[in-house]
Amino acid sequence: MTTARYLDAWRTSGRITAEQAAALIAITRKERFSLFFELNALLYLGVLLCAAGLGWTVQTHFAALGDLAILATLGAVVAGSLFYCVTRAAPYSPARVESPTFAFDYVLYLGCLAIAVAAGYVEYRFHLLQANWDVYLLAMSVLFFVFAYRFDNRFVLSLALSTLAGWFGVRLATWYMLPQSIRGLAIVYGAVVAMVGVWMHSRGIKAHFLDAYMHVAANAVLLALTSGAMDEQTGWWWLAGLIGAAAVAVALGLRFKRFAFVLYGVVYGYVGVSQPMMRTLHGDTARLAYFIVSGTAVLVSLALIARRVGHER
């Protein structure tokens, strides 16, 4: 029996209404299809382009426009974005809160990016904090965390975590200038982010934010370990850590049906393993053969895993 006949039988028996049956039949016949993800991607890209345009305009034409005009424009963007969000947002809840409008998340994200541009411009022009300019990063990170939790916005949460990572690296790297120390700081940062995410999840405070925390933590740790694996002097220790962390990422990704983490583990692990392999292989032919064979194996494996994860979900 075809899908259309099933739907017709359900309509006849009263399980679904005639309108529901018509809508579902149109979808199965591909007369309708969703543009939700495409529209979201276009909105996100549009916000990034607007922010990039603001930054370029400020950098290129600040002398002609003047400080007052630039700061007033940026302030208007921030004020307008926040006014839009505050007047339309639902009351705060520790649980998931759906966006009141389709553009809500992107308006808030635009406001946060405008804050970042304004902070960068103020320091560039007036040098208020001078050597302590990284305080801007810390302050913006705290502000973005507040916005993310108040308005239930994972875009802004990711922005807060990346801004905090910038402050973390700038402030603490001044104490340790060796590459190994910077890698160690990245691993510590990733561990702290993961622990905070798990703690928030266990307390039921925006538990659905856990994925955002874990994405940032996994990339920070795996990137640091991959960078260490490239070091010819101490690379073997870092490589061992990378293989272990990549295996954990793949295992947990499969366990919780999160293909992105499987992808992180496979890609970072492959890059880390390929570096010492390049040092042992001699000749362009051997190296090319390695990348063709291993790269094909990785792509096929990822395709099979993606199908498995998709079916199990």
Q: Do 186 and 223 form a contact (C-beta atoms < 8 A)?
A: yes
Q: Pick the last residue of a domain from 125, 142, 175.
A: 175
Name the residue among 209, 110, 123 with its Cα closest to residue 161: 209
Q: What is the pLDDT of residue 30?
A: 47
Write out the residue range of the structural domain in which residue 27 sits.
1-33
| Alpha-carbon gap, residue 51 to 116, rounded angstroms | 9
Q: What is the pLDDT of residue 93?
A: 93
Q: What is the pLDDT of residue 264?
A: 94
Q: What is the pLDDT of residue 145?
A: 96
| Residue 177: pLDDT band with limits 50, 70, 90 | low
Q: Pick the last residue of a domain from 143, 175, 207.
A: 175
Mean pLDDT value across the chain: 82
Q: Pick the last residue of a domain from 107, 141, 175.
A: 175
Domain co-membership, 55 together with 84: yes
Domain co-membership, 123 together with 63: yes
pLDDT score of 55 more than 90? no
Output the 3-class SS for 121-182: HHHHHHCCCHHHCHHHHHHHHHHHHHHHHHHCCHHHHHHHHHHHHHHHHHHHHCCCCCHHHH
Total tally of structural domains belonging to the chain: 3
